[in-house]
Structure formats: C-alpha cells, structure tokens
Chains A and B, each alone.
Chain A
Amino acid sequence: MIRDAVNAGKTSAEAVVSDALRRIDEKDGEIGAFLEVFREDAILAAREVDARVKGGEILPLAGVPIGVKDNMLVTGHIASAGSKMLAEYRATYTSTVVTRLQAAGAIIIGRTNMDEFAFGSSTESSAFQITKNPHDTTKVPGGTSGGSAAAVAAGMIPAALGSDTGGSIRQPASLCGVVGMKPTYGRVSRYGLIADGSSLDQIGPMATTVEDIAIILAVIEGRDAHDATSMSLDEPTVTNLSSPSMKGIRVGVPKEYFIDGMDTEVATRIKEAIETLRQGGAEIVDMSLPLAPYALPTFYIIQPAEASSNLARFDGMRYGTRAAGTLEESYRASRGEGLGPESKRRIMLGTFILSAGYYDAFYKKAVAVRAAMKMEFDAALKKVDVIVGPVSPVVAWGIGEKMDDPVAMYLADVFTVSANILGIPGISVPCGTAHGLPVGLQILANSFDDNKVLQVAAAFEALRQN
C-alpha cells in the first residue's frame, strides 16, 4: 500500500506523485479523464506530506494521489462542474472532503471530467471534452463521475472522489470496472460541492479495492459544522476488512431488479455473483419490492425540480460570464449561452414540474411515492441485511449512441436511483465482464449500515479471487 510505504519511509510522497503525473502524461491524452492536473500544487503538497512523515506523523492516506470531480471546490483552482458557465470560476474556499483528504496526507492531483452540473449518465454532457472508457476507447465511461472512474480504471491514480445523485459514482464504476461507493445520505459533508439535487446528492470514493474505499470513506465521513445535513456517526467506517465472513448474512434478491430489456449476459454475471455469495455462506432470500419500477420516474421528477432550483443561482450576476443587456435580458442570455443542452432540459423539466397547475400532479405525487418506497424498503430490510442486484442493465455503450434520446439515457440509471431516493448506501463492485466489458454488482443496505455494504463487498471481492 502506498500510504504504508510512505509512512515507513520506503518511498516518498513526492516519488509517488511524480509517478502518477507520469502515468497521467502517458495515458490521459487518449482517455481524457482530467480537465486539469494540479502539477505544481501536487508536488508542493507531496513535499509537505514528506516533511510531516519525517516529523513522525503516521497519515492514513500518506502520499496517496487522489483525483477530485470538477464539482468539488479547492481554493484558488477552477471548479467548473463541467460547465462553460463556470469555465473560469475559481473557488474561494475548499470543500470539507478535500480539507479532510489533505489533513490525512492525500495529494489532490487534479480535477476530473463530468457531465455538466452532474446531469447525465455518460460524461458526454461535459462542456469541455469526451472521456473514453479505458477498456474500449470507443465506449463511454458512464457518468456523471466518468473522469474519476476512467482515471482510476486506466491506472493513472489509485483513487478519486465522485458525487452520486442518481448513480453517478456507482454506474461509471460499474462501466469502468472499479469499485465505487455512495455512502448514506448525511454520512459525508457536501460543503463545497456544487449542488445538483440537494435531497439526493452524496460524495463518495472510487478506487480499485473495497479496502481502499473504506480507508478513504473513514477519512472524509462524519459531522461537519458547515453542512447541516451531515451527521455524527455512531458507527464509523471499519477499515479492517481482512477475512470478512458471509456466514449469517442474509442477502435479498428483489425480482424487480431483473427486468425486460436487460442485457442477458449482464443478468447472467449478476446471478453468478449471487451464487458466489451463497457458496461463501450467505443466505439468499428471494424477495419483491413492488414499488421498485417506480423509482426512476420518481427520480426524474424530484431531481429536475431540485436541480432547476439550485441552478437559479447561475444567472451571470455573481459567477462566471455575464451577457450584456438589461437585467432580464442579461439573466436569460447568460444562462442561454452558458448552459448546455442537458442542463437546459433539466431546468425546463424542473420548472414545468414545479409550475402552478402541475406541482400536485408531478412533484407532490413523487414525494408521496418516495415516502411509500421508504416504507416498503424499511419493511424489506427487517428480513435481510443487504440487497443485491445489477448496477446497470447494460455494459458501456458507444460514444454518441444515446445522446439524441434522453429517455434512453435516463434508463441507464434504473437500478441506481433507489439508493438516492431512499438515502441509503450502495456500492458497485466488479463481478466479471459481458461482451468483453466490465459488469458491476450493486450491494445496498439500510441508512447508516455502510459497514454492512463494505463487509459484503469485501467478502465478495475475496471470494472472487479464490
């Protein structure tokens, strides 16, 4: 492990960072994962970490280079959220997650590409560049944290942060063959995260092993005075995941998580993964979540409603570029020129849903279904410890394939949005390939049972290697 070698003085943070920078130089021309590499700052930060280690500090992430999605603020650096609107915007404060990573000895190596304002499922909605899937560069990496997923999958960096509003950590992790976790809503502070859907957003880690995920989560989690939705934790993340056991663990398999139109080879990989868990000692429980098919329509009402409200602040007055004209003209033109097609679609959709005459039929209905789903899920989780299923119904698709059909693009999130609607933790852990491309197994549990998710994911990872 990098941090152990740095803490023990066997290598230096500077050497580790130089190595990561070299790999980024080698590979990112082809992949396009990074919007910016913080070359000089990373080397300076590495030297500081080396000095701290020499001074006797043992740091949980000593010298570990970490990429940060472009919607998390780092003082003095551009944070554009993948939008032309914020192309030149420099952060005036640092997000809590970055502050905590730095205190733990991690090196922020750069900002990774994303769909504009985290709207999308393929990272193609970025205003700046297309990111390619390292497993096949004609395919998308998934989204919206596609840059983070691709940078880790290509071996440029060992870990990255993503944010997950409807699957934006888990789905690109699945499509790129890495591990990605959305923690429980409230587990990780969102101070300094550019908001998408405020009742749905959560920051989480992406890495190559479940243990790395746990180590990073343990660093970034917990109450933060700057985010009133963040919680003190009764059970901090357990990072020692050696010899995790599946004995006595009840694994629920909802029949609704295997749908018509799902890729049959993906379904086969998921069924094999469930069999692996059974052989490892888990009790497999067939179950039903009748409201699961309503998760996606619920999401595509609540998310645009919240996002259109959050994006009202991008009006050309306080941030970014301002179009000329009277106040009203300037508002409209600044937004019209600064925002891309998917952002405009979500703003229009959200504004319509919240408009007089439609609010009750759409927004209020979605909130009621959300409450019903929560009750159904709470009842189901009295009978099982975790629920498993696919992350994505399909493997990575071709670049450009779904850009003209928003509903087809939205369907990519069909299995991931439940975790955001319910506020529960979920992880994507690699479980093989279909059509030569990675497939991820999703593990969900109840709120603040993040340790159960990690335990089952670590057990699955170990069982697969044996």
Chain B
Amino acid sequence: MHIDINRIATLAKLQLTDDEKAMLERQLPAILDYVSKLQEVDTSKIDAKAYLTTAVNVFRKDVPTSTIDERNAVIAAFPASNGGALEVPGIFVD
C-alpha cells in the first residue's frame, strides 16, 4: 500500500525530517498491512451503532466554578499571552 507521507503530514500539521519520512514510508505500510487482517471478518450483518455504548447525554448547569488563581495559572502556562489573553501568530496573513 502506498502512502503519501507529505499529504498525511500536512493533514496532521506535523513537521518531519527526511529521515523520519523515510522511516514512516517503510513502517506505516507494514502496520497497515497487519491491521488489514480485519478485512477477513464478515461484518455485513453488524449494526455497529447498536453496540458500543449505552451511555446517555449528561447535562449540567453552565456555572463557572474556577477561581481567579486557576485562571491566572492557566494564563501563566500559555507560551505567550497579552493582557490576560492567549497570544498567537497572525491568523489572517499571507
């Protein structure tokens, strides 16, 4: 199976070195080949949505519970902040 490593890396927003790309080009097909074993299983009669969970939605009131100290700790952990807001590189730039 051929995998376009550059395309997947772009989708994943992941910078890879040439060595890493070469390694993944070799390893990912081997892993995908292994997991493709699943095609042997007949799932034509399986309603996957019927399983998986009996969980129901859980709701709560939207009441703030954080303290100002917690807020400040979160801001302090930002790589860059400006006046208590998260600062990021420009989004609408060429």
Contact = CB atoms under 8 A, between A and B. Distances in A.
Nearest to B23: A341
A362 B12 CA distance: 18
A332 interface: yes
Nearest to A225: B60
Contacts, number: 150
Interface in A92-106: 92-93
Contacts of B73: 75, 90, 92
B50 interface: yes
Given A316-B79, A336-B16, A348-B28, A300 B35 contact: yes
Contact of A345 (B17, B27, B60, B86): B27
Contacts of A361: 39
A347 interface: yes
Given A327-B89, A352-B28, A368-B48, A322 B80 contact: yes
Interface string A156-184: 00000000000000000000000000000
Indicate the size class of the contact surface on chain B. Answer: 35 or more
Contact of A92 (B24, B31, B70): B70
B46 interface: yes
A294 B36 CA distance: 10
Given A228-B58, A348-B28, A364 B14 contact: no
Contact of A332 (B5, B13, B60, B80): B13
Contacts of A328: 13
A37 to B, nearest CB: 22
B48 A297 contact: no
B30 A371 contact: no
Contacts of B23: 341
B34 A407 contact: yes
B88 interface: yes
Nearest to A351: B12
Contacts of B34: 297, 300, 407, 410
A374 B47 CA distance: 12
A90 B24 contact: no
Indicate the size class of the contact surface on chain A. Answer: 35 or more
Contacts of A187: none
A331 interface: yes
Contact of B43 (A75, A331, A369, A410): A369
A247 B91 CA distance: 67
Given A301-B35, A367-B52, A355 B14 contact: no
Contacts of B32: 349, 352, 362
A333 B74 contact: no
A452 interface: no
Give the interface centre of A291, A300, A320 by most chain B CB atoms within 10 Å: A300
A14 to B, nearest CB: 28
Contacts of A242: none
A335 B11 CA distance: 13
Contacts of B68: none
Contacts of B62: none
Contact of B38 (A90, A92, A301): A301
B90 A322 contact: no
Contact of B12 (A320, A333, A337, A347): A347
A315 B31 contact: no
Give the interface centre of B9, B14, B79, B89 by most chain A CB atoms within 10 Å: B14
Contact of A372 (B9, B27, B36, B43): B43
Given A297-B34, A321-B79, A348 B48 contact: no
Interface string B29-64: 011101111111101001110111001001010000
A341 B19 CA distance: 11
B15 interface: yes
A332 B88 CA distance: 14
16 contacts: A89-B77, A90-B73, A294-B38, A297-B37, A297-B38, A322-B80, A326-B89, A332-B13, A333-B15, A335-B13, A348-B28, A355-B8, A368-B46, A371-B47, A406-B31, A407-B30
Interface of A: 75, 89-90, 92-93, 199, 225, 228-229, 291, 293-294, 297-298, 300-301, 308, 312, 315-322, 325-328, 330-333, 335-337, 339, 341, 344-345, 347-349, 351-352, 355, 361-362, 364-372, 374-375, 406-407, 410
Given A92-B77, A362-B32, A371-B50, 14 more contacts: A92-B73, A294-B37, A297-B34, A317-B88, A319-B77, A332-B14, A344-B24, A348-B9, A348-B12, A348-B14, A361-B39, A367-B52, A372-B46, A410-B34
Q: Which 10 A-B pairs have the closest CB atoms?
A: A336-B15, A371-B51, A368-B43, A322-B79, A92-B73, A332-B15, A297-B35, A228-B58, A351-B12, A327-B89
